[in-house]
Amino acid sequence: MMMHTAVGLWVLSAVICVCSANSVSLVNEANKEFSFRLYRKLAAHADSQGENIFFSPFCVSAALAMLSVGAQGVTHRQLFSGLGFNTFLLTQTDVDRAFQTFLQRANNTSQQDASEGTAVFVDNSFKPKPEFLQTLKQSYFADGLNVDFTKTTESADIINKYVEEKTNGKIDKLVESLDPNAVMYLISYIYYKGKWATSFDPKLTEQDDFNVDENTKVPAVMMNMEDSFNAYQDHELNVMVLQLPFNSAYSMLLMLPDVMSTLENAISPNHVTKWLKAMRLRRYDVYIPKFSIKTSYNLNDVLTEMGMTDMFGGRANFRGISEEQGLAVSEVVHKATLDVDEAGAEASAATGISIIRMSDPLAPDPVPVLKFNRPFMVIIAERNTEEILFLGKIINPTI
């Protein structure tokens, strides 16, 4: 009799384990799809004649997933839909456990200099539901900090110093100014520093032209290496894809298209999977610009266009955060940096979500040789799971 019971328990635990792994896979796939949907929105808003794009899709997804813990009703459905989470297949608990797995995996990997994490800053006068804070702590490993949001400058300084420390000084001013009605601020951050598996020789680095467009050239500092690289020529999208592995589980993909709009309008997670599988080692004389860029985004309009409308106005439903009426998101900001040199690459990003008390609830206003010497796209991803940490487009490496 005991033997039957033991077998029954073993089968049950195996089923639970499979379901959990499947949920993680579903959320990972949704995150990858979200990466390119968000990229296309940012590209549409950017000035294509000279504005670099660089952001961490995982960082944005994690912050919005944290927010969804406290959202209910239509607000919750819009967040899930915007993030690409299928509500028939995934519950909030599934999503929370998946992010717990991602964050654990990132921070348990000691072979590279990387960190990912979250925090929640709560006003002294505001009382969130204990279960909301508990979920953020357990599933998102959120640091919880109490602040006095009536002192807006001091509070902004506290948040900025926290983010600056977590991103190794790279994101030093996430919050430009705090809404005086703020009662809570959610933070998601990511920092990665990788050394190339084979570094570039600084003696071969020299100045050359970078063609921003047909009529504009800028002087750029180009690194050079002749070696065997994993690469793939995608004839469907007319793009050359080069893989630069880091001395870790991550690598950088550089995509040099014939026509940038063809690539950025079509690129999907399936393309990344195909490229990584089809790549072959070949000898190339590679030239890549050495650069440092910073980007800054207010994502309110972009997220509204992606269907996440109610959270910004009087229709917001955040009863999962607090029973208090009239909570809404005032802004979602994202900042990122990317430094590429002969030794490797350093990338960082932070996302901040300001939650306020609505003094006058209003609905939101809807706002409608390989020579990388011309605009190219860049991805920093984990090689096995293909989880996209960073994604962007370098139009001009000198700005």
Q: Which of the four pLDDT bands, split at 50, 70 and 90, describes residue 22?
A: confident
User: What is d(CA 352, CA 187) in angstroms, rounded to the nearest whole number?
Assistant: 5
pLDDT of residue 17: 36
pLDDT of residue 314: 86
| pLDDT tens, residue by residue, 352-380 | 999 888 765 444 443 228 888 888 899 99
Top pLDDT among 3 and 165 is at: 165
pLDDT of residue 382: 85
- Region 324-334: mean pLDDT is 91
Q: Which of the four pLDDT bands, split at 50, 70 and 90, describes residue 8?
A: very low
4 pLDDT higher than 80? no
Q: Which of the four pLDDT bands, split at 50, 70 and 90, describes residue 110?
A: low
pLDDT of residue 154: 93
Select 25-194+293-357's CATH number: 1.10.10.60, 3.30.565.10, 3.30.497.10, 3.10.450.40: 3.30.497.10
- How much of the chain exceeds pLDDT 70, in percent? 90
113 pLDDT higher than 80? no
User: What is d(CA 391, CA 282) in angstroms, rounded to the nearest whole number?
Assistant: 25
| pLDDT tens, residue by residue, 175-199 | 988 888 899 999 999 999 999 999 9
For CATH 2.30.39.10, the residue range(s) in the chain are: 196-291+369-394
What is the torsion angle, in degrees rounded to the nearest 10, for the CA atoms of residue 21, residue 26, residue 28 and residue 29?
140
Going by their DSSP bridges, the two strands 216-234 and 280-289 should be labelled as: antiparallel
218 pLDDT higher than 50? yes
Q: What are phi and psi of 361, to 5 degrees?
A: -60, 125
pLDDT of residue 323: 86
Q: Which of the four pLDDT bands, split at 50, 70 and 90, describes residue 105?
A: confident
- How much of the chain exceeds pLDDT 90, in percent? 67
pLDDT of residue 51: 83
What is the pTM for the complete model shown? 0.89
Query: Is residue 193 a contact partner of residue 344, using CB atoms and an 8 Å limit?
Result: yes
pLDDT of residue 86: 82
pLDDT of residue 13: 37
Q: Which of 42, 61, 62 lies closest to 52 in space, CA to CA?
A: 42
Select 196-291+369-394's CATH number: 3.40.1440.10, 2.30.39.10, 3.40.50.300, 3.90.1150.10: 2.30.39.10
pLDDT of residue 11: 40
pLDDT of residue 358: 76
| pLDDT tens, residue by residue, 286-315 | 999 998 989 999 999 999 999 999 999 888
- Region 154-160: mean pLDDT is 94
Top pLDDT among 298 and 51 is at: 298
User: What is d(CA 343, CA 200) in angstroms, rounded to the nearest whole number?
Assistant: 7
| pLDDT tens, residue by residue, 60-91 | 999 999 999 999 999 999 999 999 998 788 99
pLDDT of residue 214: 82
Q: Which of 382, 387, 107 lies closest to 249 in space, CA to CA?
A: 382
- Region 275-292: mean pLDDT is 92
396 pLDDT higher than 90? no
For CATH 3.30.497.10, the residue range(s) in the chain are: 25-194+293-357
Q: Which of 253, 249, 247 lies closest to 231 in space, CA to CA?
A: 253
Which of 65-74, 111-120, 248-257, 302-311 is predicted with the least confidence, judged by mean pLDDT?
111-120
Tokens found for residue 247: 């001395």
pLDDT of residue 93: 95
